[in-house]
């Protein structure tokens, strides 16, 4: 597909999906969100794609936030529709079977931070900035920030970031568990691709099972979560990939997974 607000490259099982509104610092317009949802759905169906990387065009921003000029003219119903579209996109992003890595280059503010929170994990350049500054506009996060941020960094720290609207740098984001690794701007995409290709070489069935178990078990009682894990674990033993992986280990050779 051809997109007006996104760039897409696929190589060696890894899709690099780039938010492409650099003049607007890749702000999340309605058009971009609609394209983003459609692109994710296409990538989910594409058997060639094993892992997705999200990043932003230009050197200044991953996603600098939502479309504030458009929001200024919204009434409450229009704001509800706009928020619902964002939630739809990020819920799909969070639950799609393929791992998604955010490669944050520059500002990830408001909706940008919320996008990263729906990814499986985050790599960042050392000049990246994160924050939920909506409070400075007299509003609050509208794409899941009040829900995913506390679950990621803890309730008290999330309250501080949301109530003050303060921004934090990449190293601070790593310290609080928001970011996994920090690289120089030049290293960010190569290092993210390296991690993505490593994951792409694993069994897609096992990765999907792991992601499903983690997501399904996160907000429930641990004993119930362990039941989900037992079911996901045992079902893999009917698949060719598990037989291949176990056999390859015993034969001291690299496994050849086929996604079956």
DSSP secondary structure string, the chain? ---SSEEEEEETTEEEEEE--GGGTT-B-HHHHHHHHHHHHHHHH-TT--EEEEEESSSSEEE--B-HHHHHT--HHHHHHHHHHHHHHHHHHHHSSS-EEEEE-SEEETHHHHHHHTSSEEEEETT-EEE-GGGGGT----SSHHHHHHHHH-HHHHHHHHHH--EEEHHHHHHTTS-SEEE-HHHHHHHHHHHHHHHHTS-HHHHHHHHHHHHHHTTS-HHHHHHHHHHHHHHGGGSHHHHHHHHHHHTTS-------
Residue tagged active-site, from 42, 73, 114, 160: 114
- What's the rounded Cα separation, in Å, for the pair 186 and 194? 14
Residue tagged active-site, from 134, 171, 187, 191: 134
Active site residue 12: no
- What's the rounded Cα separation, in Å, for the pair 56 and 9? 13
Active site residue 35: no
Q: Mind telling me the catalytic residues? A: 114, 134
């Amino acid at each position: 597909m051809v997109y007006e607000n996104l760039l897409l490259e696929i190589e060696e099982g890894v899709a690099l999906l780039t938010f492409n509104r650099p003049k607007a610092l890749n702000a999340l317009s309605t058009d971009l969100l609609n394209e983003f949802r459609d692109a994710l759905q296409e990538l989910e169906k594409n058997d060639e794609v094993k892992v997705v990387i999200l990043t932003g065009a230009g050197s200044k921003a991953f996603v600098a936030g939502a479309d504030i000029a458009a929001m200024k003219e919204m009434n409450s119903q229009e704001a509800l529709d706009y928020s619902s579209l964002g939630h739809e996109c990020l819920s799909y992003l969070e639950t799609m079977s393929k791992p998604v890595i955010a490669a944050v280059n520059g500002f990830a503010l408001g909706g940008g931070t919320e996008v990263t929170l729906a990814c499986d994990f985050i790599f960042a350049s050392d000049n990246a900035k994160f924050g939920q500054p909506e409070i400075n506009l007299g509003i609050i996060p509208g794409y899941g920030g009040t829900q995913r941020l506390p679950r990621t960094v803890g309730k008290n720290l999330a309250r501080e970031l949301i109530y003050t609207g303060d921004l934090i740098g990449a190293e601070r984001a790593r310290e609080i568990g928001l970011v996994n690794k920090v690289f120089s701007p030049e290293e960010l995409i190569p290092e993210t691709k390296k991690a993505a290709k490593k994951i792409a070489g694993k069994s897609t069935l096992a990765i999907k099972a792991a992601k499903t178990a983690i997501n399904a078990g996160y907000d429930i009682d641990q004993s119930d979560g362990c039941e989900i894990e037992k079911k996901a674990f045992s079902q893999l033993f009917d698949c060719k990939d598990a037989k291949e992986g176990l056999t390859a280990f015993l034969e001291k050779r690299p496994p050849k997974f086929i996604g079956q």
